[in-house]
Amino acid sequence: MALSRTKNVLFIGALVASTAFAATAARSEQFINILTGGTSGVYYPLGVALSKIYGDNIAETRTQVQATKASVENLNLLQQGKGELGFSLGDSVKMAAEGNAEAGFRGPLDKLRGIAAIYPNYIQIVATQEAGVKTVADLEGKSLSVGAAKSGTELNARAILGATSMSYEDLGKLEYLPFAESVELIKNRQLDATLQSSGLGNAALKDLSTSQAITVVAVPADVAEKLGSPYAAAVIPAGTYEGQTEDVPTVTVGNFLITHDGVSDELAYQMTKLLFENVPALTAAHSAAKDIDVKKAIEGMPVPLHPGAERYYKEIGVLK
């Protein structure tokens, strides 16, 4: 009987010790949830690549990649602490910090902190040649798709039209559709033009340009001046799309990696450092990453830098 009681005591002791060990292990493990975008976009493959880099190089860390509706959703989730790193367009970050309700933010998102500026999106407006649209002003009375409602692309569309003294009301028809669906409507002669915010050589626009005659629509240089940071004047080089024989002026808007103030300084430091130490691996995941440059990492950052990221930039001399 005494032996039986001894065995029970030993078993309970081992169970308690095992539970305590598991609890300690759980406490020591940290998570990085990376908020991206749709699986067919640029954010998602880059998020997957970052997930592997972080999982392989940051001790006792488990990573996860979450497909989302991109910029606006990512920023709202970060404010709620439901992610550690998120991709976003710069104008979305700026509107989030300001609490722009029309853009999808109920109030100022004051917990957002910057990690890095990464690569630019080009505003690419493409119309059927027969629509006769050569510049943004020519969109008046025409049908246009501006991306999913309250997406980063759609916020870009509002800004571009506003800077040229236009609004959605000036359009003949407005559609809120993703890139590929917009192109299908154009092919079926149900849409005149599509505005897409992405890297150059967009697959949907390449597909469209090989199927029919198109015009890459000019966005005047003064639009970038009116909008200011994070917008900048740029050019879509001749030959980017089939039948595009000349350079076309447009604007770019930067993409950013954002975190929040609940992420530890050490984790933010490691995420920033490993990002720039692994640009070749990111470029292998998507060519847009070739434009990631640590020397431009803090340019146009719309929110305060996370102290962990700041530590890295001071360490390498980007910040004094």
- What's the pLDDT at 287? 85
Question: Looking at the structure, do residues 249 and 277 belong to the same domain, yes or no?
Answer: no
Of the candidates 301, 269, 298, the one whose C-alpha atom is nearest the C-alpha of residue 112 is 301
pLDDT at 32 over 50: yes
- CB under 8 Å to 214, separation ≥6 — which residues? 126, 127, 128, 129, 208, 241, 242, 243, 244
pLDDT score at 179: 86
What percentage of the chain carries pLDDT values higher than 70?
91
**The total number of structural domains that make up the chain:** 2
Region of residue 98 (phi > 0: left; psi between -120 and 50: alpha; otherwise: beta):
alpha
81-132 tens-digit pLDDT: 999 999 999 999 999 999 999 999 999 999 999 999 999 999 999 999 999 9
Amino acid occupying residue 169:
E
pLDDT of 5: 52
Of 253, 278, 295, the one marking the end of a domain is 253
d(CA 90, CA 87): 10
What would the pLDDT profile of 217-252 be if each residue is shown by its tens digit? Answer: 999 989 999 998 889 999 999 999 999 999 999 999
Reply yes or no on whether the pLDDT at 215 is more than 60: yes
Give the domain CATH number at 277: 3.40.190.10
Residues 174 and 99 in one domain: no
pTM, two decimals, is: 0.80
Looking at every residue in the chain, the average pLDDT score rounds to 91
pLDDT confidence band for 7 (50 / 70 / 90): low
Q: Specify if 278 maps to a domain.
A: yes
- Alpha-carbon span 203 to 126, nearest angstrom: 13
In this structure, the answer to whether residues 111 and 65 fall within a common structural domain is yes
Angle between helices 265-277 and 307-315 (to 10 degrees): 50
**Do residues 145 and 227 both lie within one domain?**
yes
242 domain-assigned: yes
Among 236, 253, 270, give the residue marking a domain's end.
253
Please, which pLDDT band fits residue 39 given cuts at 50, 70 and 90?
confident
Of 41-45, 205-209, 275-279, 291-295, give the lowest mean pLDDT range: 41-45
Domain membership of residue 12 (yes or no) is no
Q: Which two tokens stand for residue 307?
A: 């102290």
186 and 42, same structural domain? Answer: no
Model confidence at 22: pLDDT above 50: no
For residue 248, what are the domain limits?
Answer: 121-253
